[in-house]
């Protein structure tokens, strides 16, 4: 059943089973499970376990790298599915990026793909993006309003989001952007504190929130 498949996917990430993870993902899609639930109920919970093991000293960097590789392999099947969105209508432009000092890009890519599938034109600035580059890109955009979508996976890089919000204000660009910031450490409390507009738990929710904001 479904639960069993989610458990297998989760274990494939935990066990860093690169081939197995890819094959299980394909099997799950073929069996009719949605790409979103495969990510949210199988792969991401596996990543969480790997991260927790790393934190507690039960796993080391090579293991996280292999687990990430397993997830990236699965993405080869997941991303094309996510791209089959319903949004024919163009919503606007989303500028997506990962905060300076941070190279975690799996969640960023998922969020970017889901926004694209829902009608956003995407400008993907990639990972480890200095605030100045983000500001430059906002200035360059011709629309009256754009969606700014930032990710931070570490508490250190998350602090950079506060600085970015300050810089956006100082540059007089606050009215031009709706700002959605996310990543594992980001909370609604943090969003309120730094004066951003919203956050989201996962890529599917990010697409919904992004549409609401625009």
**CB closer to ligand HCB out of 52 and 136:** 52
For the CB of residue 118, give the shortest distance to ligand HCB in the complex, in Å: 13
Q: Cα(81)–Cα(114) distance, rounded to whole angstroms? A: 10
**CB closer to ligand HCB out of 92 and 183:** 183
**CB closer to ligand HCB out of 7 and 205:** 205
Of the chain, the end-to-end C-alpha distance in Å amounts to 38
**CB closer to ligand HCB out of 31 and 61:** 61
Helix axes 44-55, 2-14, angle to 10 degrees: 40
Partners of residue 99 on adjacent β-strands: 129
Q: Burial level of 48, CB count in 10 A (0-12/13-18/19+)?
A: middle
Binding site for ligand HCB (CB under 6 A): 44, 47-48, 50-52, 54-55, 61, 64-65, 68, 101-108, 110-111, 149, 151, 153-156, 180-185, 199-200, 202-203, 206
For the CB of residue 52, give the shortest distance to ligand HCB in the complex, in Å: 6
Residues present in the chain in total: 214
Instruction: Give the CA distances from residue 33 to residues 18, 21, 29, 172, 179, in Å, rounded to whole numbers and listed in that order.
Output: 20, 15, 5, 45, 32
For the CB of residue 123, give the shortest distance to ligand HCB in the complex, in Å: 14
For the CB of residue 122, give the shortest distance to ligand HCB in the complex, in Å: 13
Residue nearest to ligand HCB (CB): 107
For the CB of residue 54, give the shortest distance to ligand HCB in the complex, in Å: 5
């Amino acid at each position: 059943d479904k639960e069993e498949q989610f458990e297998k996917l989760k274990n494939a990430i935990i066990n860093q089973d690169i081939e197995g993870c890819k094959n299980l993902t394909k099997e799950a899609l073929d069996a009719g499970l949605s790409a979103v639930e495969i990510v949210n109920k199988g792969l991401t919970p596996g990543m969480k376990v790997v991260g927790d093991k790393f934190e507690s000293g039960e796993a080391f960097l090579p293991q996280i790298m292999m687990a990430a590789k397993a997830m990236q392999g699965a993405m080869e099947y997941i991303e094309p599915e996510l791209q089959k969105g319903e949004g024919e209508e163009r919503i606007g432009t989303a500028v997506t990026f990962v905060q300076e000092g941070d190279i975690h890009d799996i969640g960023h890519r998922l969020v970017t793909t889901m926004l694209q599938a829902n009608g956003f034109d995407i400008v993907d600035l990639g990972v480890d993006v200095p605030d100045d580059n983000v500001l430059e890109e906002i200035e360059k955009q011709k629309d009256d309003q754009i969606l700014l979508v930032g990710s931070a996976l570490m508490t250190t890089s998350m602090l950079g989001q506060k600085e970015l919000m300050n810089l956006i204000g100082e540059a007089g660009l606050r009215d031009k952007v709706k700002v959605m910031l996310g990543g594992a450490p980001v909370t609604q409390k943090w969003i309120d504190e730094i004066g951003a507009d919203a956050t989201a738990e996962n890529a599917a929710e990010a697409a919904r929130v992004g549409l609401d904001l625009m």
